[in-house]
Amino acid sequence: MSLKIVREPINKYMQKIPLGLIHIIPERCKECGYCIDLCPKDVLEVGDERNIKGYRWPRVADGKAAECIACRMCEWICPEFAIFIVEADRREYV
Amino acid sequence: MSGELKLLKPGTYFMMGNIACVEAALIAGCEFYAGYPITPSNEIAEHMSRRMPQLGRHFIQMEDEIGSIVAVCGASAAGVKAMTATSGPGFSLMMETIGLAAMLELPCVIVDVQRAGPSTGIPTFVGQGDVMQARWGSHGDYELVVYAPSSVQEFFDLTIEAFNTSEWLRIPVIVLSDEVVGHMYGRLVVPEHDKITIINRKRYTGPKEAYLPYSHESLVPAFVAAGDGYRIHMTGLTHDERGYPSLEIEDSHRLVERLVMKVRKNARSLWKYETFYIDDADVIVVTFGITARSSEEAVRRARSEGLKVGMIKLLTLWPFPEEPIRIASQYARRILVAEINMGQLIHPVREVAECPVAGINYPIGYAPPPEYILDGIRAAV
Amino acid sequence: MGQKVVLRERIVDESPRDDLIRRERFPHIWCPGCGLGTVLKCYVEAIAASNIPPDKHVIVSGIGCTGRIAGYVRLDSYHVTHGRPIAFAEGMKIVRPDLEVTVISGDGDLVTIGGNHFIHAVRRNVDINVFLVNNFIYGMTGNQMGSTTPLGAKSSTSPYGCPEPPFNLPLLAAALGAPFVARWTTLHVRQLADAMKRAMNVKGFAFIEIISPCPVGFGSYNDLRDGRDYIKLFLENCIVDHSADLNKVGITLKPGEPIILGNFIDREAPTYHDLELEVFKKAGWLK
Ligand code: SF4
Ligand code: SF4
Ligand code: SF4
């Protein structure tokens, strides 16, 4: 790109990028990794703890929580109903 | 337009057996018929296809007999009375789903107009070779009820009875007719409709949280239909009282026991039979279906020859009417079981009889002439 | 307000969709990475979005891994014999046209042992939805090949590679006259749920083929041992083409040969119910 000036929209303050609060039901997770792999923002990673069946459920990677944009891909792809998103007002948290 | 007006009116008719079966089903409240063409049951489907739409009820010709009985189960799960009719090969195809109906406890009626077998056999000839199949045809442990008519009137009466029993016990009920009874024309007396007992399955209407679709509290749990709002689960897998699949021995035991006991414990009220001249009989012919017609004549002739012969006509084949046979066997010297096969009903008879039992078998595609049975009687006396 | 809170995952024990699943039965029996749970998720989302009350939705399934799906949905749910859910659903829908009856079952169940019911239900245009989950194999019985196993694919009964060509299911359904025909994978969650929702509102037989990962079964024989291998396969090979020539959408799973997805057909045709009402008129029941 030759144009170096990156213009910021003047109404940027009005734009709301949604924030997703990540909720996990550890006992349901089977560690398939879909939520982790398919998160467009790399918010999730494999956790350390294991559930009763021995699977490590996902957790939010360090410092990544605020990057969740509540796209819900993790929630939709999860075959176990083990992860879901509650949308929040970004301004309240970040 | 009222459906009531279009049911067969009370009165006396001269009618074909298969047609009488249809009219009985309509009076019993059958709302759904699914079937596949097969001789010699076709008049049932043909007449159904004409009559059901006149009453706003449903007739569908399915792609095979499996689809037919499965669709019947689906309709029953939706809460309506449903039936199918078939013969030998089609009856064989239905066996797996008869087990499903028993397991899900879906009331339904299956009419088997028996023909000569095995395999394709002689489609237009009569047989009585499905006696054991009707009882034991599906795998696993279950019980059902099998009625066998020997006349147009009985075909009519037992079809209504079959619906009533299936609704009462939530089981598949089989009307084991045969080619001759299905095709014969005979006298039919239709009583006033309000004199005809009609039983409808017990429905559950209580609170949702308390509902257990397969509660063992009573032998026959109350039914809910699809769309009633109970969000029921039914599965052919062994299930617990909630209807959920279970691998627990205890659940399996209680379920199978209940499926069997609901018929066994009610056996006495399910037994239907008629006796002729048995009070002083030395020899008793036990028979059913069209063979009972020939046998009755044979017994009459034997009596006129001075032979002490009686007869028991079984209208209920299963659960097997043990007690009347056992009691008769305590007074008779010999029991003869007449049937159009190489010996099927003879087995349960032998199991309960306290006197020697022999068969009069006539497995050749015709109703046995009375002389044939009379010869058997003379040989036994 | 405005003050930063340390954000992290929250551990809970139920999900907002638990009202539509039989949560007491979770975790379900399916393998890690199996796509069936995602099919279930899309189905309940479609129900929630369908404008039809859940009490009017009915699910019927047959035997096999997919067959278990009926047992996990909090709806009137029927788990019947192998190959027969469509016939069961037909009987139910014909006597209760007000119910929204959906069959979800596997490829082996619906088009192999149950193929006869499938073709005739489409031909009749009974107003049911059939969501066929195609995992290319008989998973539950131990990974035997079936009528959808791609030519040459390995399975426990095709050690030398499947010797038979598979069905092209969208073509089959379309040729039989189905008013709605679609194909998606479990990766295409929104498109799949949207197609399901559309299917529920289509008058007549609505068919969706859902390509689903079976890492433990089919995958273990065919170099797709992890759910992620399937995701890669889908990401790399799927092409969305709503107006695809259905003669050319057969699945080979060969490198470079695409898996074509889309809502291929959405048309109107008289349903079994419409035609039955005509019969009722001719018979004098209806004016
Ligand atoms: S909602 Fe989207 S961005 Fe947020 S964690 Fe899930 S997949 Fe990632
Ligand atoms: S998608 Fe679901 S089951 Fe898979 S790792 Fe994520 S939370 Fe666990
Ligand atoms: S065998 Fe395949 S289809 Fe069956 S549960 Fe496992 S992954 Fe799913």
pLDDT digits (tens, 9 = 90+) for B167-196: 999 999 999 999 999 999 999 999 999 999
The number of angstroms, rounded, from the C-alpha of C241 to the middle of its chain's C-alpha atoms is 19
Q: In terms of Cα–Cα distance, which of C47, C52, C49, C56 is closest to C20?
A: C47
B299 and B186 in one domain? no
Is residue C157 situated within a structural domain? yes
Whether B7 and B124 map to the same domain: the answer is yes
Look at chain B and report how many structural domains it folds into.
2
Instruction: Please give the pLDDT value at position C2.
Output: 47
Does one domain contain both B19 and B157?
yes
- C286 contacts B70? CB cut-off 8 A: no
The CA distance from A33 to the nearest CA of chain C, in Å, is 8
Residues of A in Cβ contact (< 8 Å) with C14: 25
Note the pLDDT tens digit of each residue in C174-212: 999 999 999 999 999 999 999 999 999 999 999 999 999
pTM listed for this prediction? 0.96
Domain assignment present for B262: no
- Domain extent at residue C64: 23-282
Examine the fold and report which residue of B180, B195, B210 is the final residue of a domain before the chain moves on: B195
Residues B22 and B158 in one domain: yes
Last residue of a domain, one of B195, B224, B248: B195
Q: And the tokens for B322?
A: 């043990």
Contact list in A for residue C15 (CB cut-off 8 A) is 23, 25, 81-82, 84
What per-residue confidence (pLDDT) applies to C184? 98
Cα separation of B337 and B348, whole Å? 10
- Sole residue written with tokens 């014909």: C94
What totals of helices (H) and strands (E) does chain B contain, helices first? 13, 16
Last residue of a domain, one of B195, B228, B255: B195
Ligand 2 pocket: which of A32, A50, A76 to mutate (most atoms <8 Å of CB)?
A32
CATH of the domain at C49: 3.40.50.970
Judged against a pLDDT cut of 90, whether residue A2 lies above it is answered with: no
For B80, the domain range is 3-195
Residue B334 inside a domain? The answer is yes
Domain assignment of residue C90, yes or no: yes
User: Looking at the structure, do residues B23 and B162 belong to the same domain, yes or no?
Assistant: yes
pLDDT of residue A9: 74
> Using CA atoms, how far apart are residues B85 and B104, in angstroms rounded to an integer?
20
Question: For the domain that residue B302 is a member of, what is the CATH number?
Answer: 3.40.50.920
Please check the confidence at residue A10 and state whether its pLDDT lies above 70: yes
**First CA to last CA across chain C, in angstroms?**
67
Task: Please judge whether C4 and A94 are an interchain contact, meaning their C-beta atoms are less than 8 angstroms apart.
Answer: yes
The phi and psi torsions of B166 (rounded to 5 degrees) equal -65, -35
Q: What is the CATH number of the domain that holds B113?
A: 3.40.50.970
Contact call for B100 and C280, based on CB within 8 A: no
Q: Which of C109, C137, C140 to mutate to test the pocket of ligand 3 (most atoms within 8 A of CB)?
A: C140
Residue C12 within any structural domain of the chain: no
Q: How many helices and strands (H and E) does chain A possess? A: 3, 4
| Banded pLDDT at C1 (limits 50, 70, 90) | very low
pLDDT tens track, chain B, 381 positions: 444 459 999 999 999 999 999 999 999 999 999 999 999 999 999 999 999 999 999 999 999 999 999 999 999 999 999 999 999 999 999 999 999 999 999 999 999 999 999 999 999 999 999 999 999 999 999 999 999 999 999 999 999 999 999 999 999 999 999 999 999 999 999 999 999 999 999 999 999 999 999 999 999 999 999 999 999 999 999 999 999 999 999 999 999 999 999 999 999 999 999 999 999 999 999 999 999 999 999 999 999 999 999 999 999 999 999 999 999 999 999 999 999 999 999 999 999 999 999 999 998 899 999 999 999 999 998
Confidence category of residue C89, pLDDT binned at 50, 70, 90? very high
Are B152 and B278 part of one and the same domain? no
Q: Quick check: is C243 in a domain?
A: yes
C42 Cα: distance to centroid of ligand 3 (angstroms): 18
**Distance of alpha carbon B37 from alpha carbon B21, whole angstroms:** 16
Is residue C3 domain-resident?
A: no
Distance CA B55, CA B30 (A): 10
CB contact at 8 A, B177 and B114: yes
Same domain, B19 and B149: yes
CA atoms within 13 A on the CB side of C182: 27
User: What is the C-alpha to C-alpha distance for residues B123 and B117, in angstroms, rounded to an integer?
Assistant: 8
Which among B56, B70, B228 has the least Cβ separation from residue C80?
B70
Q: Tell me how far the alpha carbon of residue A6 is from its chain's centroid.
A: 27
* CB contact at 8 A, C160 and C228: no
pLDDT in tens, C12-21: 999 999 999 9
CA C120, CA C103: separation in Å to the nearest integer? 15
DSSP code of residue C110:
I
Are C109 and C67 in contact by the 8 Å Cβ rule? The answer is yes
Q: What domains does chain A contain, in order, with CATH numbers?
A: 26-93 (3.30.70)
| CB of B193 closer than 8 Å to CB of B213 | no
Question: Which H/E stretch holds residue B295?
Answer: helix B289-304
C17: in domain = no
Q: Do C92 and B78 make contact, defined as CB atoms within 8 angstroms?
A: yes
* Per-residue pLDDT, B2: 46
Count of domains observed in chain C: 1
Is residue C4 very low, low, confident or very high in pLDDT (cuts 50, 70, 90)? low
Interatomic CA distance for residues A48 and A54, integer angstroms: 11
B4: which DSSP letter? G
Q: Which amino acid is at C191?
A: Q
Structural domain contains residue C5:
no
Rounded-to-integer distance, Cα B285 and Cα C47, Å: 62
Q: Which two tokens stand for residue B228?
A: 């009633």
Residue C89 covered by a domain: yes
